[in-house]
């Protein structure tokens, strides 16, 4: 099984389990370091929604760097199992909730609970998700705090359609040809 690690914060250097098989694609340490430097190398509290969690490594990185609480969502049972194992390993179970759900249902469920997030992590299977639709739903459901950061990992050819009235582009960068990131901030 592939190994991942937390790269900064209180859990720096700790190993994480990866989801076995090829259904998930872990974010590399290089990309994680670059994105968290841009989003805020460390956080003073706050909440996040990790919508396509995979192993949970991005959300766990956010917790390690100072976020207080996060919700991890993935539709694959093995991913949910690995997220729970990783949270237990680092004793972070009290700082997180984990759900097996489709993205749209998860967004609606968080809105029904009147939850709002400071950070939204979007790292879905490449080419399978309409980022614009998800971003519109987040605005319509009012689940993002003012100035919330939205991280999108995608193939370079994918367009992250967003409404400039709702979001400001903070960073757009390609990492090694196969991975691009787009970081937005809610207006």
Q: What is the pLDDT of residues 6-31, one digit of tens each?
A: 989 999 989 999 888 765 666 777 77
The parent domain of residue 168 ranges over 3-186
The tally of domains found in the chain comes to 1
Per-residue pLDDT at 26: 67
CATH number for position 129 = 3.40.50.150
Contact in structure between 72 and 83 (CB atoms under 8 Å) = yes
In the three-class reduction of DSSP (H, G, I as helix; E, B as strand; rest coil), residue 97 is classed as strand
Question: What count of Cα atoms within 13 Å lies in the side-chain half-sphere of residue 123?
Answer: 25
Task: Supply the pTM of this predicted model.
Answer: 0.92
What is the four-CA torsion angle of 184, 58, 121, 102, rounded to 10 degrees? Answer: 160
Question: Tokens 């609606």 — which residue?
Answer: 108
């Amino acid at each position: 099984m592939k190994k991942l690690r937390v790269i900064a914060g209180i859990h720096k250097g700790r190993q994480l389990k990866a989801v076995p098989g090829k259904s998930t694609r872990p974010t590399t340490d290089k990309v994680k370091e670059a994105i968290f430097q841009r989003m805020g190398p460390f956080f003073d509290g706050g909440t996040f929604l990790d919508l396509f969690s995979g192993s949970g490594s991005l959300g766990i990185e956010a917790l390690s760097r100072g976020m207080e609480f996060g919700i991890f969502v993935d539709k694959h049972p093995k991913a949910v199992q690995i997220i729970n194992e990783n949270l237990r390993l680092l004793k972070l179970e009290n700082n997180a909730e984990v759900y097996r759900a489709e993205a749209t249902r998860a967004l609606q469920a968080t809105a029904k609970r009147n939850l709002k997030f400071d950070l939204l992590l979007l790292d879905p299977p490449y080419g399978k998700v309409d980022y614009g639709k998800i971003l519109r739903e987040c605005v319509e459901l009012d689940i993002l705090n003012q100035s919330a950061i939205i991280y999108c990992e995608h193939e370079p050819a994918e367009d992250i359609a967003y409404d400039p009235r709702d979001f400001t582009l903070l960073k757009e960068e390609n990492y090694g040809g196969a991975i691009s990131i787009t970081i937005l901030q809610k207006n």
